[in-house]
Structure 1
Amino acid sequence: MLSKNVELQSTPTTTIASSGFEFDYLDDVWILNRNVTVNVSFLVQFNDRLAEDVIDTLVHYAENHSAHHVSNLAKSLKLYLMASDTDSFSEHGFLAFKSSLSKKNQYKLSIVRGFLRQMRYLGFDENIDDNVYKLTDRWTIPGNEKGVAVLSLDPEVGPFSSAEFEAIGLNAAHKFAEGQLTTKQYATLQLFKATGRRPEQIALLKVKDFSLTSQYTGTPTYVVQVPRVKQGGFGFRSRFRTFGLINSVGQVIELYIEEGIAAVEYQLDRKLTPAEINELPLFMSDKTIKSLNLFSNADLLQFFKTELSHITSAGLARLLISATNKLRIVSERTGQFIHINPYRFRYTLGTRAAIEGAGILTIATLLDHSDTQNVNVYVANLPEFAIEISKIMNQPLAQYAAAFAGKLVEDEREANRINVGATRIPLREKDCDLGSCGTNAFCQDYAPIACYLCPKFMPWANAPHHLILEWLIEERNRLKDDTDGDMTIVSINDQVIVAVCQVIQLCKDYNNV
């Protein structure tokens, strides 16, 4: 158990997380909400004086920030201790931590630096040498790379292709009609497919959030009030955004609600009151349903009003994945069963909206963003990139073409071990380097375009290959405009685009992304 000095142990050690959950900050494990449990037992590895300040700062984060943010902070602090092999925040420790991180994980250094700055802001920095701040403040640290999966139309984690998305809807309808999908599974799939909402938003829905109303369109329309979850400073189900549903989806949800009420009433062996039905979570775990008869009538309504009565985000994701896996849809891009995660439906919604010509503000509203700063991440930075790549990658057998013939290497150091003095391959238009040449022979091919089709090319596993993908699509669109759409010229680099997408996928596999 974490410990503080004897004087403080006589005072209450419980506090309230931003989610409303109470926890004891001297416990080894903090339960911050129904989804997030943070193990902080490792904090005792800091020296005694610093450990107390670190705990106080982490408590501040737990009280004022999201549980997931606290979890990420704890993981990064633990990683710092392991990599630095020290019990303090020191110059040596941060230099060792920095050198241990790959390029794609450099953002974790930024997380710990931010924690350090918060300690200084809160006045918990008396046990940290000022030189540590001077050192870390000088660093320019790249952020966590976003949008690459969507930009490259990654067949595993990016948006579904049109064929895949349509097959999900069609097969799900058939399987439900044949009794191979339960109403709960079908409703889950339909909600993700129709709304593109985050798992936590759907997990927090209640029966009262659904209605058939003429308020918005003048004719009866199914609508759902979806809780907002990424707007800081607001509590459990305190803000909502209205989302319309087509009749076929609304009718499935209506049927599922009826079945859900019946299942709870069967477990309780009594009818639910109107107030209980209103507060009834749309999704509850089987374990929770079985425990409902342990509550008195008065306590049951209060339980329904709490976050604890709702299924966890992970539990809902498992429900979605199991439902979609039953469809056994083979991707035309991989030749394998489609890979499912909840966010693929979100990426698909944004990308399809962009393809249909929706503006940035419309897409931000559709994806429930408070502003437009992150919309580009979900729609592949520029919608036309996704559209053009989709056309190329959806050509027959495009994914199976042996476009990339080179060898992926970790970095320039590995390339030089293979070919001493290997020439760097730059993308001058984007001011970056992409890999190394595996031969010292004279070459007149146009780098870096020809490189991706050359068996001697050694792309680096952490290079920004998505930038050449952007540039190639920009060039494709320019050629389309300059040649009045002459596809003989426009498609001249399509094989290279396929190769770059393959390299991006190899990098993801290499880095276990």
Structure 2
Amino acid sequence: MSFFSASPHLEQLVADNDWAEIPEEFVTREGRLAKLIGDKWHLPCEHLDGNVNIHKYGSPILQWVVTKYMIHVAQVTSSIHSYNGVIEIYATLRHRDFFTKSLSCVDPELLKPALVEQFEILILRLKEERKLWRAYRPIRWYIWAAENYPELGFCELYASELDCMKIPGGPKGEAVRSQDPEQGPLHPHLEVSLIVDALRRDVGQEFEHYQQRAAVAISKTYGRNPANYIALREEDVFDLVDDPEEPEWAVKLPRIKKGFRSARSDFIVESLDDETCQHIRALIEQNEAFDSLVEVNGKLIPCARPLFRRLEPNHLRLQTGDYESAYHIYTAHYTKLLRDFAKRMGLESPLTQGRMILTARRFRYTVGTQYAAMGMSRKELAHRLDHTDLQHVQVYYDILDSMRYALDKAGVLVYSRFVHLYQGGGAIPLNYPVERDQLIVTDQHSQPGDVAALGGCGLDDLCHKHPPFSCYLCPKFRPYLSDIHEHILDVLIRQHNERPESQTLGVHRVDVILAVGQVVRMCQGGL
């Protein structure tokens, strides 16, 4: 790959210093092939296409040094670390059309002051925007270039100044700390309950519907990053006891935060709850309709069978010989599955009163806050979320004092507009004839020992759920047009706020509270 024609100075310096030429392909730290395809580099990242157009970097000298840095980082750290680095270099330094103007800087002596000036302006701008953390990657590139290629216009003295700067960490935990209603943790009662209900109601039969349900269920359960999930394969779902009669299903979740090695070089085994397992196994059954084969030089080569799969092989991966991962999706596709589920199921947030925003990061925040509230140790939480150290999980413990999700009657009645947890029929008058054996009663009335009728039951057999509370979640229930439901609501809200961790109803109490809220609104003429 030649950059020399536009810069004789660069050509001469490469020859004089006996610097290695830039290859058209190389092997990354993960053992995969990175290759120049057309006018773009393709870095074999697991969760995005990894395409880098090196010609965007202006001066032939900058193109050469950025390419050298890209190859170095990909070989010693990882492809994704390399890709993120060069993309951030371009995104932060392109201010004031720097790269276009640098095309005339074919002499390192002209480039040196221009680069220093651009970095000074960059740092000042990011300080004013309170985004100095974005300077980290371009600064590391400049320091590396000054250590290895000072002859190309990188000042060693200025690099020492940059190396002494204290760069703050990124604001990843800010959405958690502020409990942002659109980017932070999902409300465990008012939003997660709606998601669980939507999963139970969803009967979509298209292939993407199965993918959406599995993606939402597994994200809600484990709180990992999308890169963990897209590396999953069908073989990672297995029966721990190998007993067809009473299986105990588990999943091997690939790890991604361990020195930037390939995700499938290490796993954490997690048990599967019944509902998550149901959606994952349903997706595996749908996957059986598709082969995982690619044709290479007239021969069919078997590929891995990912859990979340593409219907057609990835041609970029085929061109670099990565046949095994040909049917694995990228994280952008996984994110789209979550977003499309919320749209298709009409999920609205009671908090924002707009479309609920579902992302793997929000599910991750939700799981983290829930584990912290349960008293899980920092070490165990870091392990569960696949973090490399304990520092990253501290944010979940910092906000425990503000995580008291109390409910009030007025709020429940507002939130109940957005839920569909009540499955019964319309309200019936108090004098409506109901057989005595079908009459539903409760003793939680205004005076101790009093018994009041809630409504009628359409079941022909004995109910094995937990009446009267489970009745509000049952399609056979017909509530009386009565203020008894309002009283039930008051009692349940008080119990919840006194002991939010207790769920002694036999059914999820918040689900019942929201369903009762719907019935109260119905009786008030609000439905």
Residue 469 (structure 1) aligns with:
none
Q: CA deviation at 1:227?
A: 0.9
SS across alignment from 1:375: helix
1:36 alignment partner, one of 49, 52, 55: 49
How many residues are aligned here?
Answer: 377
Q: Determine whether 1:214 maps to 2:230.
A: no
Q: CA deviation at 1:239?
A: 0.8
SS across alignment from 1:241: strand
Equivalent pair of 1:199/1:313 in contact (CA under 8 Å): yes
Residue 167 (structure 1) aligns with:
194
Equivalent pair of 1:3/1:26 in contact (CA under 8 Å): no
Equivalent positions of 1:346-365 (< 5 A) are 346-365=364-383
Letter in 2 for 1:80: L
Residue 78 (structure 2) aligns with:
66
SS across alignment from 2:85: helix
Equivalent positions of 1:294-333 (< 5 A) are 306-333=324-351
Q: Determine whether 1:46 maps to 2:55.
A: no
The superposition leaves residues 313-357 of structure 1 with CA deviations (integer Å, 9 ceiling, x where unpaired) of: 111211222123222122111111211222111111111111222
Distance (Å, rounded) in 1 between the aligned partners of 2:290 and 2:66? 47
Q: Determine whether 1:242 maps to 2:269.
A: yes
Equivalent positions of 1:140-155 (< 5 A) are 140-155=166-181
Q: CA deviation at 1:236?
A: 4.9
Structure 2: gaps of 5 or more residues: 5-10, 106-110, 416-497, 499-527
Residue 465 (structure 1) aligns with:
none
Distance (Å, rounded) in 2 between the aligned partners of 1:349 and 1:104? 29
Rate the CA distance shift 1:28–1:236 in 2: closer, same or farther, 3 A: farther
Equivalent pair of 1:207/1:280 in contact (CA under 8 Å): yes
Residue 356 (structure 2) aligns with:
338
2:306 alignment partner, one of 275, 281, 290: 281
Residue 387 (structure 1) aligns with:
403
Distance (Å, rounded) in 2 between the aligned partners of 1:283 and 1:364? 25
- Calculate the TM-score normalised by the size of structure 1: 0.64
1:76 alignment partner, one of 72, 75, 88: 88
The superposition leaves residues 40-97 of structure 1 with CA deviations (integer Å, 9 ceiling, x where unpaired) of: 434652363x543342122101222333332332233223243466553543232122
SS across alignment from 1:309: coil
Equivalent pair of 1:185/1:319 in contact (CA under 8 Å): yes
SS across alignment from 1:308: coil
Distance (Å, rounded) in 2 between the aligned partners of 1:335 and 1:191? 25
Rate the CA distance shift 1:149–1:231 in 2: closer, same or farther, 3 A: same
Rate the CA distance shift 1:212–1:383 in 2: closer, same or farther, 3 A: farther
Identify the structure with the greater helix proportion.
1
Equivalent pair of 1:2/1:41 in contact (CA under 8 Å): no
**Structure showing greater Rg:** 2
Q: CA deviation at 1:211?
A: 0.7
Equivalent positions of 1:259-274 (< 5 A) are 259-264=286-291
The superposition leaves residues 277-334 of structure 1 with CA deviations (integer Å, 9 ceiling, x where unpaired) of: 9x41112122339x9xxx9xxxxxx976x22321111112112221232221221111
Equivalent pair of 2:313/2:326 in contact (CA under 8 Å): no
Equivalent pair of 1:43/1:55 in contact (CA under 8 Å): no
- Calculate the TM-score normalised by the size of structure 2: 0.62
SS across alignment from 1:237: helix
Residue 3 (structure 1) aligns with:
3
Residue 104 (structure 1) aligns with:
130
Residue 26 (structure 2) aligns with:
15
Letter in 2 for 1:33: P
Equivalent pair of 2:256/2:386 in contact (CA under 8 Å): no
Rate the CA distance shift 1:171–1:99 in 2: closer, same or farther, 3 A: same
Equivalent pair of 1:158/1:347 in contact (CA under 8 Å): yes
Q: Determine whether 1:176 maps to 2:176.
A: no
Q: CA deviation at 1:125?
A: 2.8
2:183 alignment partner, one of 149, 157, 175: 157
Distance (Å, rounded) in 2 between the aligned partners of 1:393 and 1:91? 58
SS across alignment from 2:288: helix
Q: Determine whether 1:199 maps to 2:252.
A: no
Residue 409 (structure 1) aligns with:
none
Rate the CA distance shift 1:331–1:29 in 2: closer, same or farther, 3 A: same
Q: Percent identity?
A: 22
Q: CA deviation at 1:11?
A: 7.8
Equivalent pair of 1:331/1:337 in contact (CA under 8 Å): yes
Letter in 1 for 2:40: V
Q: Determine whether 1:136 maps to 2:162.
A: yes
Distance (Å, rounded) in 2 between the aligned partners of 1:41 and 1:17? 18
Q: CA deviation at 1:359?
A: 1.8
Q: CA deviation at 1:182?
A: 3.1
Equivalent pair of 1:36/1:67 in contact (CA under 8 Å): no
Distance (Å, rounded) in 2 between the aligned partners of 1:157 and 1:11? 42
Letter in 1 for 2:264: R
Equivalent pair of 2:230/2:329 in contact (CA under 8 Å): yes
Distance (Å, rounded) in 1 between the aligned partners of 2:163 and 2:290? 57
SS across alignment from 1:333: coil
Residue 473 (structure 1) aligns with:
none
Distance (Å, rounded) in 2 between the aligned partners of 1:26 and 1:311? 20
SS across alignment from 1:262: coil
Q: Determine whether 1:396 maps to 2:411.
A: yes
The superposition leaves residues 4-49 of structure 1 with CA deviations (integer Å, 9 ceiling, x where unpaired) of: 449789884321233444234696422112513242434652363x
Q: CA deviation at 1:155?
A: 1.0
Equivalent pair of 1:228/1:241 in contact (CA under 8 Å): yes
Structure 1: gaps of 5 or more residues: 296-301, 401-484, 486-513
Distance (Å, rounded) in 1 between the aligned partners of 2:210 and 2:27? 38
Rate the CA distance shift 1:357–1:280 in 2: closer, same or farther, 3 A: same
Equivalent pair of 2:29/2:75 in contact (CA under 8 Å): yes
Rate the CA distance shift 1:359–1:215 in 2: closer, same or farther, 3 A: farther
